[in-house]
Structure formats: structure tokens, C-alpha cells
Structure 1
């Protein structure tokens, strides 16, 4: 059936529809064939994503993977916690870990024998399993991102030998071609250890890494050019007893790092925000880090991401000074803290599903597809 919408110009109808949540658009596919086709066009998907990104940003909160496999919750801009539609039931989902969130797509590492990867759009309820070859002697550090230069989502799998996490091989999966390929890195990554899964911003994926005679650094992969580079870390290598949490995030559309340091005998936390400025620094370096913010608070605050000008932290209360060195904590009270970067205001709230080992990711609802049309619908 064609839509009889002659009373409104097409661009006005499109402008209205792009402002609606995905749930409504899915229902409206039944209105007429024209709308159903419109919602599948790349230009409308891009317009809807752009509007959602700026008007309806959210957070995805992922509890402990062993306790709540892919049992996710969303924190919207009104700071309301909403349950996300569950992923498909699967025996291998126990231990699944979310490693990235881009354009409404979540990427998760599964714990099945083939170490498959799950791409999932919670809004459209579509999933795609991405299989890969594995070697029992190596582990993998993953990265998931998008580049507007090549208009493609990619998964980067860095094979490392344990226990030193030295890079052995690199493979890249393209969502547009639905295939893996090996990436040659010559001598650049030889002897480099990767210590984390990746974080994507502005078309590049970044991992915490280490190289002898250089020290701690960031390993960067440009999705468009498929080139690796190194970026110095803004902080020196911390001792394990006084710092145990650094995270990568985005601030003002730039790569940023949140570093956490405990003060004294776990008496308080110091959280610093570093922002990377691209260009030539005072001494000719290509990358220049600037400390934009610092806060000290009498508890353990483990920073996650920046959301709407707030640092989202996990909040710990130590049981006693006797057990402080063992990092034993109480979690029967407020366990999420927001720190306002403008006013320094701290707000606490309880999120019972979010225990030790939680993940937090910026998220926006979208119509972005996970692959071909025969993906599973939940």
C-alpha cells in the first residue's frame, strides 16, 4: 500500500519520522510500503542516527558477565534505568563480555570454544554471530569501531601470546564485506604488548599497550587507512599498589583518558581527566595531552566513561582498613557515582544489577543493520 500523505511535503514527514524511537519506526513499517522502504535506506538511517546521537544519548550498563550474561540496562538522559531487550538464549552467553558500542551496535566476545563474536542491535533486536579461526596457544584483544571515511564498521582482533600479551597477529573483520583478512604490521608491533580491549573514537581504535625501552603507550589503529601508530601515555607507569584503573573515553569529540589513583592507605581516590590534542606540541611532538579535570573523593571511584559532561564511576566502600589491601568492598548501598565536570557535583544512585566487574558504554538507539537480512530476530 502506498502512503497518501499529500497533505504534507515528503521532507517534513521524513523530518518527523527521524525523531521517533526505533520501537515506533518498527511498528510504522506496517503503515505502508513507502515507509518500510524509507526506514531501510542508508540516508534515513544516517539521519535518524545523527538526531539520536545529539538528542537522545544513553548509557549501556552491563553487570558481571558470569552473573548476568548480556543482561543489559540503559541509563537515559533523564537518568532513568531501563531494561534492554535480552539477547538470544545461548549456552555460550555465560561469560559474554561487551567490548564496544558504536552507532547503536554492540560487540561482545563470547566464551564458546570458537571464541565467536556477537554483533547486536538491541533496538532492532537483530544479531549476527561472527566466527573466526582460533589458536589454543593465544588469546585475543578486540576492538570495534566505525570510520566515516570508508563507511564501514570493523572488528579488529589482535592475537597475543600469554602471559606477556605480546602481539602475534592482527585480523580485521569488515561488516560491509562480511569477511576477515590478515593485516601486515611488519616490525612496528614486534615486542609490543596489548593490555586491554580497544576503544573507538573519530575513526580509530585505541588499546593500552607497553613496549620495552618506550614504556606505557596507546596502540592506535586507523580504520580507514588500516595503519597502526603509537601514542605516548599521559601518565607514567603506575605501581600496582597505588593505581589500578585507567579507562579510555571521549570528551568534546576528542580521545580522553580517565586515570584513577588511590591516596594513602586507600583513604581516598584521585580521578584525573586527560584529553588528547592532535597537532604539534610545545616540543614538536605530534600528540599533546592536557589535564582538563581532577577530583579527589574519600572513597574508591573507578571511572568508566564520560556521559553528558559527567564522569560515570563505580563506587566502592571499603569494609575496613584491615582488608583495604585486598580491595574488599561493600556494595549494598549506592554503587554508581556521577561527577559533573562543570559544577564538581557528585550524585550517587543504586544500580543493584551492576556489581563488581561492570561495564559501561555510551550508546544510542539506531536502525543500523548488523549484516544481511537473514540475521536472527529476537
Structure 2
């Protein structure tokens, strides 16, 4: 008899239970009070037919394109956590179209980070910190990558190229923690103490390919001021995973000068060589694989040392005028001389509090914030220059502050889903 009063469970997983017909649902204490003190019509609440129909409706769903748009704004670590939500979300991390969309969707630069190669004996490896934190946070939090070498070649779309000695090169995505050692070129030629290698790294949009350029500089004959050099250009394609020689030129690029990647081209400054102007800028088009000279602005009188950089995706030049001031020039439209614009003039008065650094100068501008402040490297430290107030400030770092007092090289990268193995590239 006891078993006859128990409810039977469904034999099929999706089968719904029917409400029992032989008894009423249990009455709460509040309902019992209402039954004693109120009219009988208030004993059991009655649900309207309209409410009953809405209760059976499934929750609203967003169109797939809206979901993809929202996800494209998220950082990589969040996207990787969300891959367990559904199969469609899991496939996004390897979808070439979504990877490109994720790269472009960064209006507040939240995905950009700064890599620092430090000479501090207390720091082993490379230090990384958020770009926004440098401008906005009172104390900048930084992390270290202990297994990465410290010689940056360049970065593009979240991939960082790092050179190890004359020939070994690796591509790494610091966000994903994935790296790839490039194969050996196999080019054999005698080396001596005057030979050296220069590298560059960039993206060829015409074929969706990442390319590493290696320039081997050899002395071929001496001239009155030193050796005359021959430079051999070799290019590595991530698509084909092989090296090939493309060019030979009778000039040399300064030792340990990494190329500046702008608009599908790699740009280097040149030494004064016969037939070339002083501090010429040479450009290698990654699609055409041809070299040409980049026109420069009119620097005016008393211009001395110049250095090459990249600001907001544009080629820029720092032109120094002794220890008085430095002009920052930006090429708004790549390759057009008339597009050179003087962005700002930075005086050295703001760094006069560092008398032991009289021999140093501004190395390169690194970034311009939304408010117009400029992050730049002075000697082996970072400074923020406010052009409106003409004042300098220094970012404040936490436990890794020693790393930011002995900077060798800096490189920006952005958090991305691009793999250095090339498996998620478009076919």
C-alpha cells in the first residue's frame, strides 16, 4: 500500500513528470495563516494563462554575429576559459577570421603589453607589463618570462621574434606560451671578427604570411675610413617554413639594429656609405622583396644624431640637437615625404635632475597615450612626457622595479591567438 502512493519517475531522460492528481501541493506556513484569516479565494495563488505560457518559453538567444562581436573584445585568457561553453565557442580560437577580428578590436589598448630586456642582475629573463598600467596605475604590476632570451627582433600581431646569436631565431606568442625555433638556413660562408647579422620581422598581408629577414654583413674590401661591406638578405616564410636568399647590396646596416615594421615593410637606418646619404633609411617591401630609400623630413640646421622608431603604426624619427632638445617626426602616410609631421619638441631641461646621465639621450619614443602623453626611453630608463605641461614623470613599479632601471631593449606586443607554428593561418 505504501508503494502505491509513491510517484513514478520517467523511463526516458527527457520525459517530464506529471503533477500528482491525488493530493495538493504542501501549504506553507504563510498560506496557512492566510487560510485562517482571509477568504477562501486566497488559499492557493492562481497563475494566469499568459504567465503560464511565458514560463515555458526558452530564454532569448543572441545572433551568432553579435556573440562573436562581444567575444572579440575579451582578452585571450578569458577566451580560453570560455572554450568549454560550447563547440562553436571552442572553434573560435582557431578560426582565422575571428583571430583577425580579435586583433583589430582593441579600442582602449587593453591587449597591448610592453616587453623589457633588462640588464639588472636581479632579473633573469624578460619583464612584461600592461601598457595601460604604465599610464594609469599608481603601481605597475609586472611579470617575468624566465625562459625567453633577451634580444628582440620585433613583434607583429602578438608574435614576438627573438634572436639567439648569429643564426638561431625563435617565434613566440607570450600570451599563449607557444614558441617555434626556426630552421637553420644552411648558408655557408667564412666568418671573421668583422662579420655580423641583423634581423627584421614583419607581416606580408598580400599572402597572410609572417616573414623573418636576416641580413649577413661581410667586409669585402677596406677603404680609408674602414671596411666596405656587402649585405646578403635572406627571408624566412612561416607558410613554407624555409629560408631563401633574395638580395645582395653594397652597404651595411648598423650592428644590432632591429628593423622597424611599418605598412608591410621593414625599415633600417644606414651608415654613411659611398653613394648613400648620411643616416639614410632603407626599406624592404615584404611583398615585393625589393629595397628602396625612404624620404626624410627637412631637419634644419644643427641636427645631429637621429634614431628610428614607430609611433601608432607610423614610421618616426628622433632628431637630436645636441643636449638642447629633440624633435619627434612622424610619417603620417608611409612613403610620402610631404606627410612628415613634427609631432612634438622635447627639451632636456626636464631630465636635468640626472647629472650622471649627461652622456645619454632619448633613445626612441615608444607610445602616445589617448591624452597625448608620450612614453619614451631615456638612456636605460622609461619616462612619460606631457607635451602640454612640458613635464616628465616616471612610472612606478612594484617588486620588479630594478628591471626598469637597466633597460636594454623594449618591444610592444599585443595579446592574440596567432600561433607561431602557423597552423591557424588562412589557407
* C-alpha deviation, 1:8, in angstroms: 2.2
Aligned pairs for 1:30-69 within 5 A? 30-52=84-106, 55-56=109-110, 58-64=112-118, 67=121, 68=123
Is 2:268 aligned against 1:207? yes
* C-alpha deviation, 1:232, in angstroms: 4.3
Is 2:367–2:376's contact at 8 Å kept on the other side of the alignment? no
**Alignment-derived partner of residue 176 in structure 2:** 124
Task: Give the secondary-structure state (helix, strand or coil) at the position aligned to 1:15.
Answer: helix
**Alignment-derived partner of residue 321 in structure 1:** none
Unaligned runs of 5+ in 2: 1-57, 220-225, 352-359
**Alignment-derived partner of residue 235 in structure 2:** 172
1-structure distance, mates of 2:247, 2:161: 24
TM-score calculated relative to the size of structure 1: 0.76
Structure with a larger share of its residues in strand: 1
Task: Give the secondary-structure state (helix, strand or coil) at the position aligned to 1:63.
Answer: strand
TM-score calculated relative to the size of structure 2: 0.68
**Which among 195, 199, 204 is matched to residue 147 of structure 1?**
204
**Alignment-derived partner of residue 161 in structure 2:** 107
**Alignment-derived partner of residue 302 in structure 1:** 362
Is 2:117–2:151's contact at 8 Å kept on the other side of the alignment? no
Structure with a larger share of its residues in helix: 2
2-structure distance, mates of 1:218, 1:102: 21
**Alignment-derived partner of residue 370 in structure 1:** 420
Aligned pairs for 1:190-269 within 5 A? 190=250, 192-195=251-254, 196-210=257-271, 211-215=273-277, 216-234=279-297, 246-251=307-312, 253-263=313-323, 269=324
Q: What is the RMSD of the two structures over their aligned residues, measured on CA atoms?
A: 3.3
Is 1:160–1:169's contact at 8 Å kept on the other side of the alignment? yes
User: Given the superposition, is the C-alpha separation of residues 339 and 102 from structure 1 closer, same or farther in structure 2, using an over 3 Å criterion?
Assistant: same
Task: Say which one has the larger Rg.
Answer: 2
**Alignment-derived partner of residue 181 in structure 1:** 244
Task: Give the secondary-structure state (helix, strand or coil) at the position aligned to 2:79.
Answer: helix
**Alignment-derived partner of residue 319 in structure 1:** none
**Alignment-derived partner of residue 74 in structure 1:** 129
Is 1:99–1:197's contact at 8 Å kept on the other side of the alignment? yes
Deviations 1:273-323 (A, max 9, x none): 112355897xxxx6664433212122355242233244323345xxxxxxx
Deviations 1:26-65 (A, max 9, x none): 2222333322211110000011110137642534131336
Task: Give the secondary-structure state (helix, strand or coil) at the position aligned to 1:34.
Answer: helix
**Which among 291, 315, 321 is matched to residue 342 of structure 2?**
291
User: Given the superposition, is the C-alpha separation of residues 55 and 233 from structure 1 closer, same or farther in structure 2, using an over 3 Å criterion?
Assistant: closer
Task: Give the secondary-structure state (helix, strand or coil) at the position aligned to 1:150.
Answer: coil
